[in-house]
Amino acid sequence: MRFNSPDDPVVVTESPEKVGRVAGVHGERIHVLDGLPQRGPEWTPAVMAQADRYDLPVEPVDLPEVARRDDAAPGPHGDVPVRVYTPHELAAPDAAGRRGAVVWIHGGAFIFGDLDTAEADHTAARLADATGLPVVSVDYRLAVDGVTHPVPHNDCWAAYQWVRAGGHGLPTDPARVAVGGGSAGACLAASVGLHGRDAGQAPAGVFLAYPLVHYPLPGPSVELAAVLSTLPPVLLGPEGENDALMAQLLGPELTGVEHFDYAMPGNAESLTGYPRTYIENCEADELRASGERFAEQLAQAGVDVEQHTVPGETHGHLSVPGLPTAKATCAHFAAFIGDVLR
């Protein structure tokens, strides 16, 4: 569904976006999670190996061939490692020889993940191939070993600025840079959108997969709670997990940190003037409450926002190589990027 635009949605789905249960490949595999406890001290190597079977690659992975090059963007906390993905066939430049570009930010609960994970590498490669544009994946500093907000945000903002300036090596129209991410990376991408609005350097578009952008996490709707009740314990976060993650990201001051809205964009006082946004949530995911709430807030603020739900899917599907729903989400993101940068 798209709000605040006279144009049709970029993505049109013929089948229902909510089926009330885990479906697809993960629906076929969910039995491998039977009997597993929630993540915690009881997670032995044997338990982890059993859980990993849920997210095994799905053949054919069909990852497109693109050029990869590691680089670094200068930032206030030191260089920010990035990986530049360049498609073999670049989109035609404008009259000034410039193109748009894409910044992609991986997830990992703010505490893990890197440029080699499938959510980072496969998503960036698919977006570069599908759009014909350079895609820059950001290896921001994680909230570990005393690193707290605003360091991860500052790293992502620095990488975004570097891309706008053409630091990745291709002449770039700074007004045609889109920013996206998954989960915690979606939070960071959304924060770049908010910072860009405030600084008069807004991204052309923001695209988010299963975002967490609120603290505290909004409670689930009756419909979402019913779906979550069908999940095995291992697919539900332990009680208090979100509070623990937020404490790790924000430090002891929590909501008292400077620019809390750049840590949790859904808590911003106003989203008026926010960039055009595309959100794809997973149906069987606790974080859907945050993604849906953010879409509502953007719509209420008059932002052109489009929201979809991946039917029957659980959190983090972009992390599974070759998963059909992950391929579809990448195609939807590419369609949004093409539409917003045209």
| Tens-digit pLDDT profile for residues 22-41 | 999 999 999 999 999 888 77
Tell me the pLDDT tens digit for each residue of 177-190.
999 999 999 999 99
Tell me the pLDDT tens digit for each residue of 259-309.
999 999 999 999 999 999 999 999 999 999 999 999 999 999 999 999 999
CATH (domain of 98): 3.40.50.1820
Residue 40 domain-assigned?
A: no
Question: Model-level pTM?
Answer: 0.97
Tell me which residues are annotated as active site. 183, 285, 315
Residue 46 domain-assigned?
A: no
Residue 49 domain-assigned?
A: no
- The structure tokens 């963007």 sit at 73
Q: Which residues contact 79 (CB under 8 A, 6 or more apart)?
A: 72, 73
Q: What is the extent of the structural domain holding 185?
A: 2-32+64-341
| Mean per-residue pLDDT, 60-77 | 98
Determine the Cα–Cα distance for residues 273 and 50; give it in Å rounded to an integer.
Answer: 46
Residue 53 domain-assigned?
A: no
Cis peptide bond N-terminal to 150, omega within 30? yes
pLDDT-based confidence at residue 176 (cuts at 50, 70, 90): very high
Tell me the pLDDT tens digit for each residue of 94-114.
999 999 999 999 999 999 999
Residue 57 domain-assigned?
A: no
> What is the structure's pLDDT at 14?
87
Domain count across the chain:
1
Residue 298 domain-assigned?
A: yes
> What is the structure's pLDDT at 254?
77
Residue 239 domain-assigned?
A: yes
What percent of the chain has a predicted confidence (pLDDT) above 70? 100
H/E segment holding residue 222:
helix 222-228
Residue 94 domain-assigned?
A: yes
Output the DSSP codes for 174-196: EEEEEEEEETHHHHHHHHHHHHH
pLDDT-based confidence at residue 163 (cuts at 50, 70, 90): very high
Residue 241 predicted with pLDDT over 90: no
Q: Which residues contact 220 (CB under 8 A, 6 or more apart)?
A: 228, 286, 288, 289
Q: How many Cα atoms are found within 13 Å in the side-chain-facing hemisphere of 332?
A: 27
Residues composing the chain: 342
| Mean per-residue pLDDT, 134-147 | 97
pLDDT-based confidence at residue 319 (cuts at 50, 70, 90): very high
